Amino acid sequence: MTGWINLDTGAGAGIPLAATPDARFEDAFRRWLLGALGEPAGSWRAGVRALCFNVYPATDAAHAVELIGAADCDPAAADWALDEVWLPSRPSLALPDFVPDADDGVLLVRRLLRAALADGFAGARLKRYPRIAVGHVDGALDVVWERMPV
């Protein structure tokens, strides 16, 4: 079991929080991501063609990750994620205190997204979008998943 759960089943029953800060954040990330993916306005049916996870400084010492939905995901356009058409009702999630900088935040979010993509439940929801990327809010994006053209 990867830890990803269907929050709609079992009256919202989830995985008990573990004792480590990292595991608690992973659970919070799962809930945040699955909640956002469940919002109809951010659906691929509503015109969102790509998801972008932006890590940004929330304060001088803390960072957060923001999820945006983009209408375009042209691989030839470097600024494709600027065509923002959707933000979830809870667009950002604070990264834990043990994440010292934005680079480490990007690495953490990338690792959690790869785990989600590998999971049958979360992965099926994420893979509805042609492209998923993570990066610094004002920097280069790392595409972590892309649907191959047919």
Q: Write down the pLDDT at residue 46.
A: 86
The token pair that represents 83 in the structure block: 């065509």
pLDDT at 150: 57
Give pLDDT, residue 138.
Answer: 82
Structure tokens at 69: 């939905």
| 149, two tokens | 């053209």
Nearest to 93 by CA among 63, 73, 60, 133: 63
pLDDT at 129: 93
Model's pTM, two decimal places?
Answer: 0.82
Find, among 47, 86, 39, 82, the residue nearest to 67 by Cα.
Answer: 86
Q: What is the pLDDT of residue 6?
A: 45
For residue 10, the model assigns a pLDDT of 39
| Rounded Cα–Cα distance for residues 55 and 82 (Å) | 15
- Mean pLDDT, consecutive 10-residue stretches, the chain (150 aa), reads 44 38 86 94 86 91 93 73 87 93 94 95 93 88 84
